[in-house]
């Protein structure tokens, strides 16, 4: 199937250096707020790219749970493929794609676990059904968070 005729003219939001904040986290916060105010479905959905120790790439969609100047936080199960790949190779990339705003944001960094107390806070904040689902599937309290250290926004 020839897809060469599928094209878009991206003219909604131009971008110049003068438009950018000096702090990339402040810039991301501004753009995330715009995506939220535009009522985009799940503006916190992001693609997470990982690679195994042998370089085998993998990508999937996860949800950003919070961010600050230390990094971007998402949750996963220790036994998942993504957790195994992060353990083998902590270099990851995130991609937010907000098509209606004609914007995407790529973030690269190193994923690390955050303190167990923060993971438990998240687990206990989840709806009861989600907590039970985690227990049934053997995750117990083994959810963890990873943060990507600022390299590029």
What is the structure's pLDDT at 129?
64
Residue partners of 57: CB distance under 8 A and separation at least 6: 49, 50, 51
pLDDT of residue 26: 92
- Note the pLDDT of residue 120: 64
Question: CA-to-CA distance for 111 and 89, rounded, in angstroms?
Answer: 9
Place of tokens 């992001």: 46
| Structure confidence at residue 27 (pLDDT) | 93
Domain 20-148 listed as CATH 1.10.357.10 = no
Q: Are 49 and 57 in contact (CB under 8 A)?
A: yes
Q: What's the CA gap between 92 and 110, in Å, rounded? A: 6
pLDDT at 123: 64
The full set of domain ranges for the chain reads 20-148
User: How far is 106 from 77, CA to CA, in rounded Å?
Assistant: 24
Tell me the pTM: 0.79
Q: Which of 148, 145, 87 is nearest to 120 (CA)?
A: 145
Q: What is the three-class DSSP state of 62?
A: strand
150 three-state secondary structure = coil
| C-alpha torsion 126→119→77→139, nearest 10 | -70
CA atoms within 13 A on the CB side of 7: 4
Q: Which SS3 state, helix, strand or coil, does residue 139 take?
A: coil
What pLDDT does residue 92 have? 94
The rounded distance, in Å, linking the Cα atoms of 95 and 134 is 26
Residues (pLDDT < 70) of the chain are 119-153
């Amino acid at each position: 199937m020839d897809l060469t005729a599928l094209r878009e003219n991206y003219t909604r939001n131009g971008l110049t250096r003068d438009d950018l904040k000096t702090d990339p986290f402040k810039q991301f916060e501004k753009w995330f707020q715009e995506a939220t105010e535009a009522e985009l479905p799940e503006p916190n959905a992001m693609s997470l790219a990982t690679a195994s120790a042998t370089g085998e790439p993998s990508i999937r969609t996860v949800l950003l749970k919070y961010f600050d100047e230390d990094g971007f936080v998402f949750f996963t199960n220790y036994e998942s493929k993504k957790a195994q790949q992060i353990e083998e190779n902590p270099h990851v990339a995130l991609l937010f794609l907000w098509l209606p705003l004609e914007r995407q944001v790529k973030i690269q960094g190193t994923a690390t676990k955050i303190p167990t107390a923060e993971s438990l806070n998240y687990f206990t904040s989840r709806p009861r059904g989600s907590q039970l689902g985690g227990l049934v599937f053997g995750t117990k309290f083994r959810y963890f968070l990873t943060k990507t250290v600022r390299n590029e926004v």
